[in-house]
Structure 1
């Protein structure tokens, strides 16, 4: 396996990562960076605790309820003019999609075999039910991402804060 094919987390440099677990991003929103995709989603408090407790994708019924709750939180954060909260809710919706897809594609959600030099595991061994959960989250994620108020806030935030 080439070095490029190994999981990126093996060479993760936490010191250069802009999201820090010791920052209260509600008290210090100016320190929040949008980043790419889901970056910071499992670090930024208090949003991680507020939103993460509702994040589930075990089956389509649970994914539906979870995505509805998180989307409602997204809307509430927007109404409160809390861009960081809205962006974190959007990231949880996106992560619902990507993680459910991982479980749909790979048995147990495991993409690499760490016991065998992180060689890729067989794709197509996952659960079909997770693909349905992924689709539910994908629709909510895309709806959030397309929200005009969110899009405007995100553009302004990135210009001012990165």
Structure 2
């Protein structure tokens, strides 16, 4: 008879507030974890999961556009021509579209938008406090 695993401590409860405020919302990707982080009230976890999903989309797209996934010539930033047809191209394009659909759902998710706005508000407040502390130290 196996015991069910103990629920893990939400990551957000294991880090300090100062450490949490180091995080920056990415511009630049995990489905189930996204919702788990939402249940835990962990915006940073949600945004990291969104980034991994976005990365899946962009990587699949890259392999769909370029056989072997190489976009640039070695040692120079000259873009290689896109492949018109190569083995796996269609599959990679379809996978990229699936990732894009999930990524867009993450971005549109009300919990994500609300937690993002809260995080940005909290970050502005945190930065103001840190700025005031720096001014006090300088004087």
Tell me the TM-score normalised to structure 1 length. 0.60
- Which residue is equivalent to 1:143? 105
Which portions of structure 1, spanning 4 or more consecutive aligned residues, are displaced by more than 3 angstroms?
Answer: none
How far does residue 122 in structure 1 lie from its aligned partner after superposition? Answer: 1.2
Structure 2 match to 1:119: 78
| Contact 2:26 2:51 (8 Å CA) reproduced | no
Aligned length: 107
Secondary structure, aligned partner of 1:153: helix
Residue ranges of structure 1 left out of the alignment (5+ in a row): 1-23, 42-69
* Coordinate RMSD, CA, aligned: 2.1
- Select 1:158's aligned residue among 115, 120, 123: 120
Residue number in structure 1 paired with 2:95: 133
Q: Unmatched 5+ residue regions in structure 2?
A: 1-10, 125-139
Q: Matches of 1:155 and 1:74 in 2, distance apart?
A: 17
Question: Does the alignment pair 1:34 with 2:34?
Answer: no
Contact conserved, 1:112 with 1:120, CA < 8 A, in 2? Answer: yes
SS at match of 1:114: coil
Aligned residues of 1:103 and 1:130 also touching (Cα < 8 A): yes
Which TM-score applies when normalising by structure 2?
0.69
Other-structure match for 1:89: 49
Check conservation: 2:43, 2:115, Cα contact below 8 A. Answer: yes
C-alpha separation between the residues in 2 aligned to 1:152 and 1:136? 25
Is the contact made by 1:104 and 1:130 (CA closer than 8 Å) also made in structure 2? yes
- Larger RCO, structures 1/2 (Cα 8 Å, 6+ apart): 1
Deviation at 1:157, TM superposition (A): 1.1
